[in-house]
Chains A and B, each alone.
Chain A
Amino acid sequence: MAKHPVQFRLNGSDRATFVDGAENLLNTLRRGLGDFAPKYGCGQGTCGVCTVLVDGEPHLSCLTLAVACEGRHVETASGMADGPDFHPLQAAFMDHFAAQCGFCTPGMLTAARALLAKNPNPTRDEVVEAISGNICRCTGYEPIIAAILAAAGSSGARRA
Chain B
Amino acid sequence: MLDVRTCASLAEAAGILSGDRQALLVGGGTLVMRDVNEGRLTDGTLVRVTDPALTQMSLSGARLELGAGVTMAMVLARPELAFLHGAARAIGGPAVRNMATIGGNLFAPMPYGDFTTALLALDALVVVQSGYGAGRPVPLEEFLAARERGSQGMVTALQVPRPQNPQHFHFRKISRVKPKGIAVLSIAAHLPLAGGRVAQARIAYGAMAPTPMRAKGVERALEGRALDAATLAAARQAALEGTRPETDAIASAWYRREVLPVHLARLLAGAAR
Q: Which of B38, B93, B179 touches A44 (beta carbons < 8 Å)?
A: B38
Bound CA–CA A17/B95 (angstroms):
25
List A contacts of B165 (CB < 8 A).
Answer: none
List B contacts of A134 (CB < 8 A).
Answer: 93
List B contacts of A59 (CB < 8 A).
Answer: 95, 98-99
Binds A, one of B1-9, B80-88, B141-149: B1-9
| Given known A4-B4, A21-B4, A132-B180, contact A43–B94 (CB-CB < 8 A) | no
A45 interface contact, C-beta 8 A? yes
B29 interface contact, C-beta 8 A? yes
> Is the pair B34, A44 in contact by a Cβ cutoff of 8 Å?
yes
Bound CA–CA A114/B95 (angstroms):
10
Q: Which of B4, B33, B179 touches A64 (beta carbons < 8 Å)?
A: B33
Query: Interface SS of chain A: helix, strand, loop or mixed?
Result: mixed
| Given known A24-B36, A133-B180, contact A45–B1 (CB-CB < 8 A) | no
> Is the pair A129, B96 in contact by a Cβ cutoff of 8 Å?
no
Q: Which of A2, A68, A115, A132 touches B48 (beta carbons < 8 Å)?
A: A68
| Given known A21-B1, A68-B48, A132-B179, contact A63–B33 (CB-CB < 8 A) | yes
We find that the number of chain B residues with CB closer than 8 angstroms to chain A is: 27
Q: Can you list, as one digit per residue, whether each of B77-107 has a CB less than 8 Å from chain A (1) or not (0)?
A: 0000000000000001111101100000000
Distance to closest chain A CB from B187 (angstroms): 22
> Is the pair A24, B33 in contact by a Cβ cutoff of 8 Å?
yes
A51 interface contact, C-beta 8 A? yes
Given contacts A132-B179, A133-B94, could you give 14 more A-B pairs where the C-beta distance is less than 8 Å?
A21-B3, A21-B46, A22-B2, A24-B37, A45-B34, A45-B96, A48-B93, A58-B95, A59-B95, A59-B99, A62-B33, A63-B30, A67-B48, A111-B94
